[in-house]
Amino acid sequence: MKSNLKKMLGYYKPYLNIFFADMFFAALSAAVALIIPLIVRYVTNTMVRMEPEKIIQQTGLIAIFSLVLLAADFYSRFFIGNYGHVMGAKMEYDMRAEIFGHLQKLSFSFYDDAKTGQLMSRVTSDLFDITELLHHGPENLILSFLKIIGALVILLNINSKLALAAFIILPFMFLFAFFLNKRMRRAFRENRVKIAAINEQIEDNLSGIRVVKSFANEDIENQKFKTGNDGFLAAKKNSYKYMGTFQAGITFFTTAVQISVILTGSVLIAKKALEITDLITFLLYIGVFTEPIKTLVDFTEQFQNGYSGFERFREIMDIEPDIKDAENAVPLKHVKGEICFDNVSFRYHDTNEKVLNHISLKVPAGAYIALVGASGAGKTTLCSLIPRFYDVTGGAIFIDGKDIRTLTLKSLRDHIGMVQQDVYLFAGTIAENISYGKPGATREEIMEAAKNANAHDFIMSFPDGYDTDIGQRGIKLSGGQKQRLSIARVFLKNPPILIFDEATSALDNESEQVVKESLEKLAKNRTTFVIAHRLTTIQNAEKILVLSDEGIAEQGTHKELLAKGGIYEKLYHTA
C-alpha cells in the first residue's frame, strides 16, 4: 500500500503550483468557518454590554469584516471548485494517456486473456474515481483537520472542561472508523471487479448483437446479464452494509458529542463555572467540527473507491510487455526480404504443449510461399512470429541475416504487411481507413492504392465516395469490399514482406476472384506467405509447405505434392 500511495502522489508533481494554491484556499475557507462563531461570541458576550451607540458602531465594523470574510470564502470555494477540478481532470488525462499508451505496448499474449470490457472499466470509471480522490481528498483532509484542530484550540481557550467533554468521544469515533475501514476497502474492491465484469458482458453482447438476434437468443443473453448484475448487486449490498454501519456509527458519535456538551454545560452553568453565551459558542463549534468529521466519513468512501481504482490501474501498469525492443535494438533498413527460420519452436505461455517444433526454413527474397495443414497445425502462429506478435521459445528467425529480436519492433513491423480473414476496419471514412497504412498520405496516394486493390470503382459508387462513413467495424460494407479496403491499406504501406492469413476463405466466389487478383498484384516482387484453406487459391505458389504437429511434413510445388500422394494430396481432394 505504501508503494502505491507513493506512486499515486507522484501524479501531483506537474501541478504542484495549483495543488499548493488549492490547499491555501482550502485553509482560508476553513479559517473563515472558524472565525464566524467567534463573531457570534463577541456579539453575545461583549457587545451586549456596550452603549447603544457603541453597538451600532461595532456592528458596522463587523459588517465590513464579515463581507471581507464572505468574499474570501467565495473566491476560495470558486478556486477549489474550478481550478482544483481542472487539476484533477489533468491528472485523469495523464493517467488515461499513460494506461492507453501502456496497453499499446502489451503483446498479443496479454490480449489473448484480457477482456475488453474489463480494460474499458479501468480506463474510464476507475480513473474517474482516482482523480476525484486526488482532487477532493487533500482539500477535504486539510479543511477537516484545520476545522477540528482550530475548534479544539478555541474551545480549550473558552472552557477546558467543556472542551474535554466534547472531544473525549472523538478517539472512540476514530477507532470505530479504523476497524471498519479494512472491510470497506475489500468490499469496494469487489464492487470494482463486478462492475468491470458487467462492462465486459455488455461489450461482448453489443459486439455480437447480430449473432444474438440471428439465433433469437435475447432471453439467454438477458439471463447471462442477470447473473452478472445479481453478482454486482450482492457486492453492492455487502459494501453498503459496511457503509451503513459506518455512517450510523459516525452519526451516533457526533450526536453523542452534542449531548455530552449540553449535559456538561448544564452542570457547569449550575455551578457558575460557565456563561450561557459560551455554551452557545460551544454548540456552534460542534457544528464546525462535526461537519468535517462527516466530510472525513465521505472521504473514507472516496478513498476506498479511489484507492481500489488505483490498485487496478497499477495492476495493468505493472504488467511488463513480454515483447519489447532489446536494449541495443537497431532499426531494420534496406530490406530485401530473405527470411530464415532456424530450428524454431514455440508454445503459448499458459501451456506446455508446443505449437511449432524445430522448424527450419529458408525463404528467398521475393518468394511466394503457401502454408497449408489441418487446423491447429500452427500456420497462423508461424506467420505471427515474423512480426514478433509472439516470440519464439526456441531457435531464431532472421530477416536478411538479422535476428529479428535485435531489431526495433516499429521498424520490423513497418516492413511487414498483413491481410487477414477477419478484417478490422475502424469507425470513420473509407479514406481514413485506407490511410491507416500510411498516416498523412495524400488523397492521390489513397486513390492509387484503392485502384491497385480493385476497390476504386465500388468506392466511387457511394454518394460520398472516399468520404463515406463505413460504420463500426465497416458494418455498411460487404465482406469482399472490406477485404479490398484492407488490401488497399497494405498497398499504401508498401512493405517488402507480406502475410495473407486466409484472406479469401470467407468470401463468395465472385468476391474471391476479385480479391485474389488484388492479392496477386500486391504480392508481386515481395516476399509473401499465404495461409490457405482453399487449396485452389495457391496452386501457383513457388513452394507449398504442409504443416503438421511434427513440423513441416511436406514441401514442394502443387504438382510435386500431388504426385507424392501424401498429406497434401488428401487435403486437396477433401477441400
Q: What is the pLDDT of residues 333-378, one digit of tens each?
A: 989 999 999 999 988 876 767 788 888 989 999 998 989 887 777 8
Question: Residue 331 domain-assigned?
Answer: no
Instruction: Name the residue type at position 515.
Output: V
Q: What is the pLDDT of residue 444?
A: 92
Is pLDDT above 80 for 391?
yes
Question: Residue 28 domain-assigned?
Answer: yes
CATH code (residue 482):
3.40.50.300
345 plus 253 within the same structural domain:
no
Give the range among 69-78, 147-156, 175-184, 236-245 with minimum mean pLDDT.
Answer: 175-184
All three cell numbers of 95: 493517467
All three cell numbers of 485: 479496403
- Average pLDDT of the chain is 83
Residue 137 or residue 117, greater confidence: 137
The full DSSP string for 56-103 is HHHHHHHHHHHHHHHHHHHHHHHHIIIIIHHHHHHHHHHHHHHHHHHH
pLDDT band at 508 (very low <50, low <70, confident <90, very high): low
Look at the alpha carbons of 275, 278, 283, 289 in this order and tell me if their dihedral is positive or negative. Answer: negative
260 plus 371 within the same structural domain:
no
356 plus 223 within the same structural domain:
no
Which of 40, 274, 256 is CA-nearest to residue 167? Answer: 256
**Domain span at residue 476?**
339-574
Q: What is the pLDDT of residue 396?
A: 94
Counting residues of the chain whose pLDDT is more than 90, the rounded percentage is: 15
Distances (CA, A) of 374 to 76, 519, 570: 71, 23, 11
Spell out the residues 6+ positions from residue 427 whose beta carbon is closer than 8 angstroms to its own.
469, 470, 471, 472, 473
What is the Cα–Cα distance from 315 to 330, expressed in whole angstroms? Answer: 31
Which of 317, 347, 373 is the last residue before a domain boundary? Answer: 317
List helix spans (H) across 435-508.
Answer: 443-452, 456-460, 479-493
Question: Residue 333 domain-assigned?
Answer: no
pLDDT band at 214 (very low <50, low <70, confident <90, very high): low
Which of 317, 347, 372 is the last residue before a domain boundary? Answer: 317
Residue 138 or residue 117, greater confidence: 138
Q: What is the pLDDT of residue 510?
A: 65
Question: Residue 71 domain-assigned?
Answer: yes
Q: What is the pLDDT of residue 190?
A: 78
All three cell numbers of 196: 468491470
Residue 23 gets the label, from left (phi > 0), alpha (psi -120 to 50) or beta, of: alpha
308 plus 393 within the same structural domain:
no
Question: Residue 169 domain-assigned?
Answer: yes
Residue with cell string 510435386: 560
Q: What is the pLDDT of residue 471?
A: 78
Question: Residue 324 domain-assigned?
Answer: no
CATH code (residue 194):
1.20.1560.10
Q: What is the pLDDT of residue 258?
A: 81
What is the Cα–Cα distance from 428 to 475, expressed in whole angstroms? Answer: 11
Q: What is the pLDDT of residue 506?
A: 57
Question: Residue 332 domain-assigned?
Answer: no
Q: What is the pLDDT of residue 497?
A: 92
134 plus 274 within the same structural domain:
yes
Total domains present in the chain? 2
286 plus 395 within the same structural domain:
no
293 touches 254 (CB < 8 A): yes
Q: What is the pLDDT of residue 402?
A: 93
Is pLDDT above 80 for 2?
no
Q: What is the pLDDT of residue 114?
A: 74
| pLDDT tens-digit series, residues 417-464 | 888 877 788 888 999 989 988 888 899 999 988 988 888 888 999 999
Is pLDDT above 90 for 42?
no
Question: Residue 334 domain-assigned?
Answer: no
Is pLDDT above 90 for 21?
yes
All three cell numbers of 330: 537497431
348 plus 301 within the same structural domain:
no
426 plus 550 within the same structural domain:
yes
303 plus 443 within the same structural domain:
no
Q: What is the pLDDT of residue 505?
A: 61
308 plus 373 within the same structural domain:
no
Give the range among 11-15, 204-208, 486-490, 524-528 with minimum mean pLDDT.
Answer: 204-208
88 plus 159 within the same structural domain:
yes
279 plus 410 within the same structural domain:
no
pLDDT band at 503 (very low <50, low <70, confident <90, very high): low
